[in-house]
Structure 1
Amino acid sequence: MPVSHTVHTVHTVVAFVAAVLAGFSAVSVFVRAPWVVKPIADYGIPAAWLPWLGAAKAAGAVGLLVGLAVPAIGVAAGIGLVLYFAGAVVTVLRAGWYAHIPFPLIYAAPVVAALVLA
């Protein structure tokens, strides 16, 4: 199998995993899962922001999938999600919940990998 075909296959799998994780995270916000909503409140984020936070993650997830056909959209979605999760890390740091830092990084890692492979 040629290298470019292998990279394309790996990129497709990684982008799909990143989209599934971002989509799961968005749905968790939309249904107000306690394991998501309570920490967000503890960080000082107003509940009124939840729909916007969920929508940003959902848009990023959809953008990653669309990006498999239209690469520029995937790159834009990936950049948006990386910025979103970087903001989440900053929010967690400002709130002093240092043990929670890995959570946004877990979601960001496959997005970064998809961007590198794009």
Structure 2
Amino acid sequence: MFTAYVVVTVLAAIMAGFSAGSVFFRAQWVVQPLADYSVPQSWWLWLGAAKAAGAAGLLVGLFVPVIGVLAGIGLVLYFAGAVVTVIRARWYSHAAFPLLYMAPVVGALALGFAA
């Protein structure tokens, strides 16, 4: 069980880190939808920083579990907010994308409590 927890946690951290990097480097396929959802450009750096901090927190959580739990909760709330933002902007077909990033975080949290 512990091995599955480590693998899923590292996967979740990689996915969140990749998502943060995509915002930092202004990948067109990430920032264009943010603009379409009416997310102010002044927020983008902070949103990327939140994802990067969550990814780092998940990795630190492998050694200090309370940090991992807090980071996981923060990322779940972040991606839940992303789903709300997408739905508020009426881009219903895009609502699955934040859920894909949220899924391994939820899995890491569940496996962490089970391990």
Range of TM-score over shorter length:
over 0.9
Q: Distance in 2 between matches of 1:66 and 1:81?
A: 14
Residue segments in structure 2 that go unaligned for 5+ positions in a row: none
1:107, 1:114 → 2: CA distance? Answer: 12
Q: Which runs of 5+ in 1 are unaligned?
A: 1-6
* 1:42 to partner: Cα distance: 0.4
Kindly state the Cα deviation for residue 78 of structure 1 after the two structures are TM-superposed. 0.1
Is 2:61 aligned against 1:37? no
1:112 aligns with 2:93: no
Larger Rg: 1
User: What is the count of residue pairs matched by the alignment?
Assistant: 112
Following superposition, the deviation at residue 96 of structure 1 comes to 0.2
Residue number in structure 1 paired with 2:20: 26
**Residue 91 of structure 2: aligned partner:** 97
Q: Distance in 1 between matches of 2:68 and 2:29?
A: 29
Partner in structure 1 of residue 69 of structure 2: 75
Matched-pair identity in % = 69
Q: In 1, Cα distance between the equivalents of 2:6 and 2:90?
A: 36
Length-normalised TM-score, structure 2? 0.97
Which deviations, in whole Å up to 9, do the C-alpha atoms of 1:38-96 show, x marking residues without a partner?
A: 00010000011010000000000000000000000000000000000000000000000
TM-score (norm 1): 0.94
- Runs in 1 of length 4+ with deviation above 2 angstroms? none
1:107: how far off?
Answer: 0.2
